[in-house]
Amino acid sequence: MSHILYKRFSLKIFLTIFSFVSGIIFISRVFIVEIFKSKFDILYQIYKEEGLITMIFSTRNQSIPNDLIPYIREKWTWVNFLFGGSNFHIARTEIEIIDLFWFFGLLGGAIYIYLIHGILIRTFTENIELRIPMLFLGLCAVFAGSFFTNAPVIPYFVVLVFQLKFTFNR
């Protein structure tokens, strides 16, 4: 019974804080837009001309219809859909989840993600305090470029996982 009350109480606190922050953002949206215009003028212009998604990805999403799809139509066979294949020196999207598919294919990408999750994340995140930063880092990595496909980044990622585990297990 106390566990249910704890969950409901935590949910109420979360919803209260979320509603308060959302209300503040909604009320001060004009102020936020003005700050955004003055500090990030180029991104604001991209937002006005191309839309929110293009602004968030800093125009990297445009390489999907311009580079990825023509490359796949011209050069890929069914084997590439399973195991990937691209010349990253010529073109890449720099959106990690799409580059994983482009580089490793469906089967290779699924195996890669399974290994990263199984070996690094699941093994070293028994602690709830470690799951939140790892989830945040994973979400950032999915939309960033060259995180999992860049060889020097993986050792830093492993060091981060070990450091977080050491810090939170003290």
| pLDDT tens digits along 86-139 | 776 667 788 888 888 888 889 988 998 888 777 666 666 566 666 677 777 777
Q: CA nearest 56: which of 36, 35, 28? A: 36
Predicted local distance difference test score (pLDDT) of residue 10: 67
pTM (2 d.p.): 0.62
Predicted local distance difference test score (pLDDT) of residue 37: 84
Predicted local distance difference test score (pLDDT) of residue 6: 44
Residue 1: band (very low, low, confident or very high) from pLDDT cuts 50, 70, 90? very low
Alpha-carbon separation of residue 101 from 34, 83, 125, 168 (angstroms): 38, 8, 26, 34
Distance of CA 104 to the CA centre of its chain: 18
* CA pair distance 152, 36, nearest whole angstrom: 33
99: Cβ–Cβ under 8 A, 6 or more apart, which residues?
A: 88, 92, 93, 145, 146, 149
The pLDDT tens digits of the residues spanning 15-65 come to 788 888 888 877 777 777 788 788 888 888 988 899 888 888 888 889 889
